[in-house]
Chain A
């Protein structure tokens, strides 16, 4: 790679660079200012994310690749980047009141959210295993720290170390898988791996299995889902919201890219594996969510179940079907909106160092805070997949794509699971609307309300009129298939 090409590539990864620079600015400015003024770092973070968002839009129009094919800057990556940046943006707004009331370190918090987002963006466009692995680690290490961010809470520190140990375990498995694939094919670029693929070579099979294991861990799908509830429960609630949408979407992005571009040679094998994983993930997540007594834990199990629904879409894109791919992408977008909203309500109801976790903490909010109760109701309806919300349309598309790809049983399992899930989501509303209040609710917090309003309107409006969010997903899926010339 000569200098002019290097220069061109560097310009092309503008969104990533914008975020990394913002993170560094936040990090450097943080120790220079004192006390109350640190709150202004919030604005730097938002501006940086907004710049990243705008620069990223360019990629929808003309996808290219940079760094001699190491990054594919196509519509697929742009769509996922949209999910990450909007998620990080709204999570930042939701976090402002929360981290101030919990007295957490402001500068490091925002910087880590931004760095983690930049790692996800690298991940969504990586077509080469070295960049992929580093993007994976940038994202993961930031999130490990964020999970253990509340130093006054031993549960938070424990969540951090648990996530680090188990995440490190899964990265080591992923790394070994990459080593085997490298040994078998002699390259770490996905397109060359696909070209050299030889299904009769056991190294390929073993490598694919190990890499898949690493991704399934990050997605939080069966059989590697057990870490999810503990870590989601222990981590600060805004961090849980951020990682349940961001990390999951990033893991799906890279799962799709690696499987479809690199390992399409043994498509039938991993498709069957994912079919089973998806069915078990949905069922186990939903059944375990029913018996939970903590809302945070219930939402953690529900996020396992939602990973299962999204995997239905992955299975349905078997053979490079555009409908299946775009349904996964749309599902992750919808999940970002509604799940961030649900965790945002919990963050909104947390006060003075105590998080809103149990059902008692939300009992009777309808009497005191009717608007919050309405927002909570809309998010729960959406998570349960009840029309007219974005959750319904996303689920509908995933199951439709499964039916069209003739995975009838998977669609039936998914629909049955959605019916079961309605029970525990609506139970939250029973507490919120029909019980007496048992705790004092915090006062009005203007910043969080802005984010919650955006999320509520988004959940409803995109449910009624999908606008062009769905077209964008189809276009992005199309550009992804174009990248590696699938049918």
Chain B
């Protein structure tokens, strides 16, 4: 069975859903941040796969940009996690359930 670009795209969609699911169900903030990384990583996979299919390298450049964004978000996120931990002594925050909306 020949591996086509569609295989990569379906894989990236699967990874994206797993990441999104992790953000929704996990309460531990560090793991939530890791799940966000999974989502960004899956978008990267889609970019690189499309880049190969289209034969232009914009997708690969976009992946480098996403990498920077991911690093910036993680750095700020972990700083906030440490700040919350010093206040509450726990990371047991359900981000979605705390919305009293």
Contact = CB atoms under 8 A, between A and B. Distances in A.
Chains A and B touch (C-beta atoms under 8 A apart) = yes
Interface of A: 129-130, 133-134, 137, 141, 144-145, 148, 151, 154, 157-158, 160-162, 164-166, 168-169, 171-173, 175-176, 178-180, 182-183, 186-188, 225-230, 288
A165 B29 contact: yes
Nearest to A189: B58
Interface in B43-64: 43, 46-47, 49-50, 53-54, 56, 58-59, 61-62
A230 B94 CA distance: 13
A326 B100 CA distance: 35
Contact of B76 (A145, A154, A166, A288): A145
A129 B50 CA distance: 15
Contact of B93 (A161, A187, A188): A161
A171 B40 CA distance: 9
B3 interface: no
Contact of B58 (A154, A175, A187): A187
B23 to A, nearest CB: 5
Contacts of A188: 58, 62
A467 to B, nearest CB: 39
A148 B53 CA distance: 42
Interface residues of B, number: 43
A145 B78 CA distance: 11
A247 to B, nearest CB: 16
Contacts of B43: 172, 175-176, 178-179
A162 to B, nearest CB: 5
14 contacts: A137-B73, A151-B83, A157-B80, A157-B87, A160-B83, A161-B81, A164-B77, A176-B16, A182-B47, A183-B54, A226-B99, A227-B101, A229-B100, A230-B98
A230 B100 contact: yes
A135 to B, nearest CB: 11
B94 to A, nearest CB: 10
Interface string B12-54: 0000100110010000010011001001101100110110011
B73 A164 contact: yes
Contact of A161 (B16, B50, B66, B80): B80
A235 to B, nearest CB: 12
B39 A226 contact: no
A436 to B, nearest CB: 30
B72 interface: yes
Interface of B: 9, 16, 19-20, 23, 29, 32-33, 36, 39-40, 42-43, 46-47, 49-50, 53-54, 56, 58-59, 61-62, 65-66, 69, 72-73, 76-77, 80-81, 83-84, 87-88, 93, 95, 98-101
B69 to A, nearest CB: 5
Given A134-B65, A158-B98, A169 B93 contact: no
A148 B80 contact: yes
Give the most central of B23, B54, B59, B69: most A CB within 10 Å.
B69
Give the most central of A130, A160, A165, A188: most B CB within 10 Å.
A165
A225 B101 CA distance: 8
A144 B79 CA distance: 11
B76 A141 contact: yes
B69 A165 contact: no
A182 B33 CA distance: 26
Nearest to B47: A179
Give the most central of A133, A164, A178, A230: most B CB within 10 Å.
A164
B50 A154 contact: no
A187 to B, nearest CB: 7
A151 B86 CA distance: 10
Given A158-B84, A165-B29, A169-B23, A182 B98 contact: no
B72 A165 contact: no
A133 B65 contact: yes
Given A168-B73, A182-B59, 15 more contacts: A134-B69, A148-B80, A148-B83, A158-B93, A161-B95, A162-B99, A164-B77, A165-B36, A172-B36, A175-B40, A178-B62, A179-B47, A180-B46, A183-B50, A288-B101
B65 A130 contact: yes
A418 to B, nearest CB: 22
Contact of B98 (A141, A145, A162, A176): A162
Contacts of B88: 154
A186 B39 CA distance: 22
A178 B66 CA distance: 12
B92 to A, nearest CB: 12
Contact of B83 (A133, A157, A171): A157
A228 B99 CA distance: 9
A69 to B, nearest CB: 14
A168 B50 contact: no
Give the most central of A129, A154, A182: most B CB within 10 Å.
A182
Contacts of A164: 73, 76-77, 80
B95 A166 contact: yes
